[in-house]
Structure 1
Amino acid sequence: MTGTLEITNSKLPDSVFDAEREGVLQSWHTGADVDFEAGLARQHALPSEKRFSAALADADETGKTLLQPRAGVALQREHTALMEGLAPYCDVLPTTIDAYTRHNRYDEAQDGIDRSRAAGTSLLNGFPAVNHGVEGCTRLVETVSKPIQVRHGTPDARLLAEVTLSSGFSSYEGGGISYNIPYAKNIPLEQSIRHWQYCDRLVGRFEEHGIRINREPFGPLTGTLVPPFVSHVVAIIEGLLALEQGVRCITLGYGQAGNLVQDVAALRSLRRLGHHYFQNAGYDDYQLTTVFHQWMGGFPEDEAKATAVICLGALAAKQARATKIIVKTPHEASGIPSLEANQAGLKATRQMVNMIADQNRNDGNEILTEVEVIEAEVHAVMRAVLKLGKGDIARGAVLAFESGVMDIPFAPAIGNAGKLTPVRDNHGALRIFETGNVPLPKDVMAFHRDRIAERARSEGREVSFDMVVDDVRAISASKLIGRPSVAA
């Protein structure tokens, strides 16, 4: 391995965790207020309507699709007001964390809080939960009426987990791969996986005391032309790593790619693949749900066109039988969305979900074909990862990225090969233009090449990288995907 840390997929011993915890809690002064027993008491006191795992279980049992926005501002009072303004329009709440906190730069986050207070408006792109500490976060949880989740993007999220889970947050997003490779440049993968083993072990400790906290690996990764099998492999690996540490409530996610058939097939296959690999690894006492992320790429600036993108995502999510939808706003192209923009996205999504509530049983042959392709790709890569790690999924993941067996398109991490290149076919589904070192089966690659060639013939041009460039810009430029560049 390139790093000095030897990573294995094994439950952290109590002695190791406790020694590490002492240093984590001392890394910023608000860590001194974290007390596990007090955190347990807060979690036990939560009414069922504020428990994320309960909301997910009920949705899965009844066929309801939960809606969740993304939102966060710098100051406690304003963030609480934002959550209260969103609550009537959604089922579960977020708290999006600011960029300084995501990089453990708490001094700069505090400066952002101070400047926001002076300016009378948020000057951070999220809520600095570590700086607000257990007291501030507890007041937030106590005030809001619905379950609340930490959404962030942090390679080292240990202190953030300690503060927020002790305060009563009942869901925690992210993972050692999904919050490193797509987000960071120079952080060794074995280091971020090890830090997230700590986060998962903390959740596992709550589970052992009767508190079920939901864990959600981040599905969309870079959000740019990510083939379903790529995000599926990451989600499954992060799920396995979490289960080993004692997590028992997992939500696997997928980011909308833009082709309705492929998006439906992707999310449906994700649940089946998750069960397959979790059970094959010996786990059977877990709760598995799914989340569909509406379009994570560039958005049109025009609000009407942006709303159309949101509605397509709502349609795909409901057809795919997602447990939860991460809802975008008509203002995605213009910066941090306002409360009103978030409400608009939620209302549009709710309307679409309600209209097709009784129409989500589409199981055509095209969907079944896509499911078969995705599952063949996932199995091929997972076999290679397990072989590299000699059965250890943590070691295998590190070695897979080192060798290019795992490769996330357009990711900034220097440890990512960046050779796997996706492109759309004539119907907008994602296909593989270049495999790099990813070991996809020959028959699967023949399928991809045939679909890409079909597009080239339709557009009257040669298969080339120019297609990839066109596809990256298609939605934000309000153009059709997988077809000649005709203005929508």
Structure 2
Amino acid sequence: MTVAPRTAATLPRRGPHGRFSRFVGNARDAGHLVVQPRMGFGEMPRMRAGLQAVRQARGATVGTITVDSYTRVNDHESARRALAKGDDLNGFPVVAHGPERVREMLAQVAGERFPVQIRHGSAQPQELFAALAAAGADATEGGPVSYCLPYSRVPLSQAVSAWSECCRLLADLAEPIHLESFGGCMLGQLCPPSLLVALSVLEGMFFREHGLRSISVSYAQQTDPAQDLEALAALRALAGEWLGDADWHVVLYTYMGVFPRTPVGAFRILEDSARLAVRSGTERLIVKTPAEAHRIPTVAENVDALEFAAAVARDESTRAPHVRPSDTGLYEEARTLITSTLRFGDDVGSALVRAFARGHLDVPYCLHQDNANRSRARIDARGRLRWSESGGMPVAVPADGAGERAVTARGLIDMLGFNERRFDREQLVGSHPRGIR
């Protein structure tokens, strides 16, 4: 495969393609950050009410239908039995409800001013994609790597094949369905930014290669705002180089790891993510609520988080219009990961499978059988996430990290709780914790 980027200079970026992209583009042009919850309920009336509440929230909002755990693994019969018995599912079983009923519900709440995305977590989502296409959903998300390695035992080659089929299904639709890569959110935390950026762009290329034109690339807030700002700049630059002929935008996730336990700490990390989104020019933000550390949030808690994030974004937009990111080589490292991976195959899917098989791509602390799990990351004394062991990856371990002892189980637990302690401690005693050693 050629590794020359298809830049916007050679292939002009297309205009909005589909209702979801039009909404995001219009919000961007009006200077609004799009905010979105992660929300799913088993019963149709409750799901409808949740969407209506999000639609009425103050801010530029899009709706979310998150599916249940049965649907994620294609156990639709169990989902049907749970519905029949009135069991409380942890999400909305799209396939079990059936596309006709879902289409009727969407017709009551969705539209040009309120598109709806169906979020899932499935490595082999063919039945789900057929149902959401028949139901007229505006968008969905995932990817052959990002919904395989963290969430399943499905071989990566089978996930790539399944996602190829799903992408072709969406590409053949008369009304476009937007597809968001989850590649920038691998494991939620402790994956260095260069790999998150590279995986998101590679999955975006995979989507484009299979005929999709409406795409978003993702990144999850990590442990250092300056590093995150640099990562988002690199993601935008690389998406421009490799997805230049597509209609694409960037989505940021509020921190997906262990969440602060105090309400003030939780709102502070949400505030940081909203300000980061505005400073970086990100178009869409997936929010979390203070309830995340304890239980599934209610509709009202989701609305509160959305309105808070939208208000913070409005405040941030009145400040300095541009914040220049640092340059620590993150863009170059991510670009090297992309270009070197593409040399492993004649198409993006086969290149991804072979790159992981050889440990050339390697997600730290990921236990999937197709991941080498030889690379390691740590949080340094400044709070930045960096490589401590490269495994077989073409990434540089910082010189000051040479000779560091291996991460222990205790050290890993400490790192997983870094942001929890950081934001809860700031609100309790006004101090900033030292990095993990």
Q: So what's the TM-score if we normalise by structure 2?
A: 0.87
Q: Number of residues paired by the alignment?
A: 406
1:10 matched residue in structure 2: none
Change (3 A) 1:463 1:312: farther
SS in 1 for 2:65: strand
2:255 matched residue in structure 1: 295
The Cα of 1:292 is off from its aligned counterpart by 0.2
SS in 2 for 1:180: coil
* Separation in structure 1 between the aligned mates of residue 338 and residue 151 of structure 2, nearest angstrom: 23
SS in 2 for 1:368: coil
Gapped runs of 5+ residues in structure 1? 1-47, 457-461
SS in 2 for 1:254: strand
Greater helix share, structure number? 1
2:13 matched residue in structure 1: none
1:98-131: CA deviation from partner (whole Å, max 9, x where unpaired): 011000001111122123x3x6xxx111100001
Change (3 A) 1:110 1:449: farther
Gapped runs of 5+ residues in structure 2? 1-15, 427-431
2:327 matched residue in structure 1: 369
1:232 matched residue in structure 2: 197
* Separation in structure 2 between the aligned mates of residue 472 and residue 484 of structure 1, nearest angstrom: 12
2:272 matched residue in structure 1: 312
The Cα of 1:142 is off from its aligned counterpart by 0.6
- Are 1:102 and 2:72 an aligned pair? yes
1:246 matched residue in structure 2: 211
- Are 1:385 and 2:341 an aligned pair? yes
Q: Which of 377, 382, 387 in structure 2 is aligned with 1:432?
A: 387
1:395 matched residue in structure 2: 350
Counterparts of 1:51-450 in structure 2, within 5 Å, are 51-89=19-57, 91-115=61-85, 117=86, 123-145=88-110, 146-184=114-152, 186-206=153-173, 209=174, 211-218=175-182, 219-279=184-244, 284=245, 286-359=246-319, 361-364=321-324, 367-370=325-328, 373-389=329-345, 391-440=346-395, 444-445=396-397, 448-450=398-400
User: 1:128 is aligned with what amino acid?
Assistant: P
The Cα of 1:469 is off from its aligned counterpart by 3.8
The Cα of 1:175 is off from its aligned counterpart by 0.9
Change (3 A) 1:482 1:262: farther
Change (3 A) 1:76 1:350: same
SS in 2 for 1:140: helix
8 Å contact kept, 2:364–2:377: yes
SS in 2 for 1:475: helix
2:407 matched residue in structure 1: 465
- Taking only aligned residues, the RMSD between alpha carbons, in angstroms, comes to 2.2
Q: If you compute each CA radius of gyration, which structure gives the higher value, 1 or 2? A: 1
Q: Select the structure with the greater relative contact order (CA < 8 A; seq sep ≥ 6).
A: 2
8 Å contact kept, 1:471–1:482: no
1:309-367: CA deviation from partner (whole Å, max 9, x where unpaired): 11111111111111100010110011211112112211221121111113353434xx2
Question: Percent identity among equivalent residues?
Answer: 29
The Cα of 1:482 is off from its aligned counterpart by 6.7
8 Å contact kept, 2:379–2:435: no
8 Å contact kept, 2:36–2:285: yes
1:400-449: CA deviation from partner (whole Å, max 9, x where unpaired): 11111111123231111112211122321211111111112xxx43xx33
SS in 1 for 2:124: coil
User: 2:418 is aligned with what amino acid?
Assistant: A
Q: Structure 1 segments of 4 or more deviating over 4 A?
A: 479-482
The Cα of 1:306 is off from its aligned counterpart by 1.3
8 Å contact kept, 1:292–1:324: yes
